[in-house]
Chains A and B, each alone.
Chain A
């Protein structure tokens, strides 16, 4: 149990276009989903926390108009990188947390975004 999927796994786009990444919890309901960004050989950096049916909470320094997050259901959150530029190229990872006493998070396989 506790499987999280992400789609697409890899995307290449032209500068100025928007890219949508989906994150799904396949076998559990996720009250909270998280979006991370990871640069090569670095740790994960939390971008935002997403709760079903409410606005996402963004970390300091993350542009909410640049990285649009929607958490439409208890199993789906989406991250849209708007007007992408080469500096947005990165590895984006989502995670999902089950409701309950424990705070354990389960991670998707990640999406590698390359902006030309």
Chain B
């Protein structure tokens, strides 16, 4: 199956800094999602982004499916951004296909 590598594995930022998280796939990307897992374990949907670029407030994401990668940009980071960021690919469109999760990026934003 598809392999999903995320980088960096760990990241420490000062509040207000910007960062870019990367997700590389070993095979074609079809239904990519980005999640934030907060310190209590809840996964929060950030983006559904099979291709192109989307923005939501301080976050934006870009997926280049032909080159098998996706990027998540965090601008003006805040302490509430801390947690683990996962990307995941859902396989071919059709509904109900399982997600393959990346290895995750652990982010800590400090004052």
A-to-B contact residues, CB < 8 Å = 2, 31-32, 34, 38, 41-44, 46, 49, 51, 91, 93, 95, 97-107, 109-110, 112
Interface of A is mostly: strand
* Residues B36-67 near A (CB distance < 8 A): 40-43, 45, 48
Q: Contacts A51-B96, A105-B99 given; indicate if A43 touches B86 (C-beta within 8 A).
A: yes
Q: Which residue of B lies closest to A34 (CB)?
A: B98
Number of chain B residues close to chain A: CB under 8 A: 25
Contact among B86, B95, B101 with A101 in the assembled complex (CB-CB below 8 Å): B95
B-to-A contact residues, CB < 8 Å = 30-31, 33, 35, 40-43, 45, 48, 86, 90-91, 93-99, 101-104, 106
Q: Which residue of B lies closest to A105 (CB)?
A: B99
Q: Collect the chain B residues with CB atoms within 8 Å of residue A31's CB.
A: 95-96
The answer to whether B90 touches A112, judged by C-beta atoms less than 8 angstroms apart, is no
**Bound form: Cα–Cα A109–B96 in Å:** 20
Q: Contacts A43-B103, A43-B104, A44-B86 given; indicate if A103 touches B40 (C-beta within 8 A).
A: no
The answer to whether B41 touches A110, judged by C-beta atoms less than 8 angstroms apart, is yes
Please name the 9 residue pairs, one residue from A and one from B, whose CB atoms are nearest each other, closest first.
A32-B96, A103-B90, A107-B43, A103-B31, A110-B41, A104-B48, A109-B42, A43-B101, A44-B101
